[in-house]
Amino acid sequence: MTATATPPAGSLLTAHDLRKAYGPTTALDGASFSIHPGEVVAVMGPSGSGKSTLLHCLAGIVTPDSGSITYSGREMATMNDSQRSALRRSEFGFVFQFGQLVPELTCVENVALPLRLNGTSRKEAERAALTWMERLEVDGLKGKRPGEVSGGQGQRVAVARALVTNPRVLFADEPTGALDSLNGERVMELLTEAARSTNAAVVLVTHEARVAAYSDREVVVRDGKSRDMERIV
């Protein structure tokens, strides 16, 4: 595996003093964040505190009103829409609460999809997809459609799809939110194992302490402001 342009000791993704309002609602009120390659950071906090907004800003999906976000030394605000979407496609992976698999496609086609969209041939994309499905222990489901698999299996397929492009950052927003605790733990075990094996950074939004326990570090978001867990007394 080759190293990225980021020095090993440096942050891969950094946000400073982010502010974002939706009309009269303040979603972020001076939130900051940073993550190193290979690090798993849990973003915790009450409902409505700004966790998803922070994740969407970090991923270049939402543009903050002010503040700066730097990815691998590049300021996001200087990128245009197509540069930002190219970054999302090639460097970032996403897993959401409900896997958001394409119902008409089989599981292996779903996992192969990001590679197909990047121009990889079907054969090669499905071969890579199957490797990831084996790691997430869902290769037996390759020919099934999302409606024919369980919630936990579907989330593992979604994790395989998020990792198939070998992203540098995996964004996961409540990836186990719809699962029972046993399935949730299995998804987290496999997700963190897979991310660590490729040195991907993981931004993990969760309400649950037992999910956050899989992280290296916890950040709490409250009223749009972020803090490292240790600083909260």
Nearer to Mg ion, 52 or 155 (CB): 52
**Under rule CB under 6 A, residue 24 binds ligand ATP:** no
Which residue blocks in the chain are alpha helix, DSSP H?
Answer: 51-58, 81-91, 107-117, 122-135, 151-163, 181-197, 209-212
Q: Least distance to ligand ATP from the beta carbon of 78, Å? A: 24
Nearer to ligand ATP, 194 or 220 (CB): 220
Q: CA 195, CA 182: separation in Å to the nearest integer?
A: 20
Stretch touching ligand ATP by CB under 6 A, among 40-48, 66-74, 121-129, 148-156: 40-48
From residue 130, alpha-carbon distances to 70, 107, 115, 156, 223 in Å are: 33, 10, 12, 12, 42
CB-based contact 55:93 (threshold 8 Å):
no
Q: Least distance to Mg ion from the beta carbon of 44, Å? A: 11
7 binds, among Mg ion, ligand ATP, none (CB under 5 to 8 A by kind): none
Nearer to ligand ATP, 21 or 86 (CB): 21
**Under rule CB under 6 A, residue 52 binds ligand ATP:** yes
**Torsion sign (Cα): 124, 134, 4, 69:** positive
The pairing of strands 40-44 and 201-205 is parallel
Establish how many alpha carbons lie within 13 A of residue 158's alpha carbon, considering only the half-sphere containing its beta carbon: 27
**Under rule CB under 5 A, residue 52 binds Mg ion:** yes
**Under rule CB under 6 A, residue 48 binds ligand ATP:** yes
**Under rule CB under 6 A, residue 51 binds ligand ATP:** yes
Stretch touching ligand ATP by CB under 6 A, among 7-15, 45-53, 115-123, 211-219: 45-53
Stretch touching ligand ATP by CB under 6 A, among 42-50, 79-87, 101-109, 115-123: 42-50
The SS3 call for residue 94 is strand
Q: CA 226, CA 54: separation in Å to the nearest integer?
A: 9
**Under rule CB under 5 A, residue 206 binds Mg ion:** no
Nearer to Mg ion, 115 or 221 (CB): 221
**Under rule CB under 6 A, residue 98 binds ligand ATP:** no
- Chain residues that interact with Mg ion, rule: CB under 5 A: 52
